[in-house]
Amino acid sequence: MDKRFLKQLGLRKHNAGTMTGLESTNSSKYIKSFSPVDGELIGSVSKTTREEYDAVIAAAQEAFKTWRLLPAPKRGEIIRQYGEELRRMKDPLGRLVSYEMGKSLQEGWGEVQEMIDICDFAVGLSRQLYGLSMHSERPGHRMYEQWHPLGIVGVISAFNFPVAVWSWNAMIALVCGDVVVWKPSEKAPMCGVACQQLFQKVLQENEVPEGVCSLINGDYKVGEFLTKDERVALVSATGSIRMGKIVAATVGARLGKTLLELGGNNAIIVTPNADLDIVLTGALFGAVGTAGQRCTSTRRLIVHESIYDEVKQKLAKAYPQLRIGDPLDENNHVGPLIDTQAVDQYLSAIEAVEREGGNFLVEGGRLEGDAYSSGCYVKPCIAEVEHDFEIVHHETFAPILYLIKYSDLSEALAYNNEVPQGLSSAIMTNNLREAELFLSAAGSDCGIANVNIGTSGAEIGGAFGGEKETGGGRESGSDAWKAYMRRQTNTINYSETLPLAQGIKFDL
C-alpha cells in the first residue's frame, strides 16, 4: 500500500504524545497504532505522564489569560487559517482517517470536510456571540446578559470519528475564547497527532501563546486526569454510555460541566406511504456506512406489515451487492471494524439474536482470507426480530440491521422510543400527517428526527446530540456554542438614585 500520506502529514515511527503550544514531549512509553485494514503498524505515540499533563494544564491556564482577551473575530481568523490548512491537506488526512480507523476513503475525506465546514461555521460565529438586552423594572437602569469563556475545555473523542468530533468541540470552544486540551481515542492516536501538528503550524505563524490548544495521549487513566481536575471547566466526552456515566459522575462530583455524546440505537420507521427507493438508500447506507460504527448508524428498521415483505426482498437483493474490503480502494463500500474486540462483540450479538429466536435474512460472520488478514472484516447482516428482544435494546457497534414489523403508527412510535438511547431517528413517508406526528411532542423522543432521509450523519449547521442515555449534549451548530461559555447578567444604573427592586425602601 502507498503510504506517502504519512510522510505528507509529518508522521514518524515514534510520535510525541503530549503537545502543548509549540512544544512537545516524549515519555518513552508508547501506544502502538495498528491499522484494521491490513494489521500493519502505522506508528506509535508516547503516553502522557502525570507530570506532562500538569505541565499542559499549567500552560493552558496561562494561555487562557491572553486568548480570552483576543477579540473573537481575530480568534475566528486563526480558525479560518486552520480551515485553509485542512483544505490543503484534505487528501492525506482523509487517507490517514481511512487507514487508521477503517472507514471508506470517501468517508475519510468526508470527515475532513466536516472539519473544514465547522471551521467556516466558527468563523461566522466569531461575529455572532450575541447576548440579550432586557427592560429593567427600575427607572434609569439598563439590564442585559453577555457570555464569557469558561476556561479550559477538555475533549475526549472516540475512534469512529477520530478528527471531526474533536473539531466540532475545539473550533467552537476556541472561538468562544476557551483553551482546549484533547485526548483522542487510543485506538486512533495518529489522527490526533496529525491534526494537532497541522494546527500548531497555524498557531505558531500567528504567534499564539503556548497552551491554547494541546494534545495528550493515553488510555482511560489519562482521561481521568481531565475528569477529576477542577482546573478543567468543561469535559466534552464522546463514547459509550458506560463511559459517559462514569464521566458524568466524576465531573459532577466536583460540580464541573459535562457535554456528553453517547450511544445511539437509531430507528427508521417505514410507512405504507413511503417511497421505497428512498427507503432502500437510507437504510442501506445507515446500516453499513462506517461498517455500522457510527453513533447515528441505523440499527432498527421498523416496517409496516403491508409492505414488510417487499422491503425485506429489496434489502435481501441489495446486500449481496455490497463490496467489502480495503477502504482505501474506492470500489469498496464497507471496510473493517476497528479491531478484533469489536468483531467479538459483533459475533456475540449474532449469537444473542439466535438465542432469542431471531431469523437472519442475510447471514453474518467473520470474513477469512488474504484480503481480510487483519481479522477485522465482517459481513453486514440483517436479522428479523421482535421489537422487545433484549439484544435489540443494546447498541452493537457493527453492521447488524434489525428488521421489525408493526401494524399502526402509534405502535411504531412506541417501538422507536422504547430503547434507552435517544440520538437519531427517521420516518419514511409522503404523508404530511404521519410526518408531522413523528416530529411532534407525541412523536420521536430523539434529539434528531428526520423525514425521508436516514438516521446517519448530520449537518454542521444544526445542533448534534440526543436525549436519555445518549447524554443530552449538543455540539456543532445552532446555539450549541453556549455550552462552552458562561452566562452573565448585568445591570447598569445610570440614574442619580438607587431604586431597589420590588419597591423595597430604606429610610436612611
The Cβ of residue 68 has, within 10 Å, a number of other Cβ atoms equal to 17
DSSP code of residue 306? T
Residues 473 and 100: their CA atoms lie apart, in Å, by 27
Residues 57 and 431: their CA atoms lie apart, in Å, by 54
Return all residues near 92 (Cβ < 8 A) that are at least 6 apart: 4, 5, 6, 8, 9
Least Cα distance to 143 among 492, 506, 451, 486 occurs for 492
Residues 29 and 218: their CA atoms lie apart, in Å, by 10
Active site residue 469: no
In whole angstroms, what separates CA 101 from the centre of its chain?
A: 14
384 in Cβ contact with 315 (< 8 Å): no
344 in Cβ contact with 398 (< 8 Å): no
In Å, how far are 24, 34, 183, 187, 312 from 13, measured between CA atoms?
Answer: 16, 12, 20, 16, 48
User: Active site residue: 100, 107, 186, 261, which one?
Assistant: 261
Beta pairing, strands 232-238 & 257-261: parallel
Beta pairing, strands 463-464 & 400-406: unpaired
Residues 185 and 194: their CA atoms lie apart, in Å, by 13
Least Cα distance to 95 among 81, 76, 112 occurs for 112
484 in Cβ contact with 125 (< 8 Å): no
Q: Name the residue with cell 404523508.
A: 431
Residues annotated as catalytic (active site), given as ranges: 261
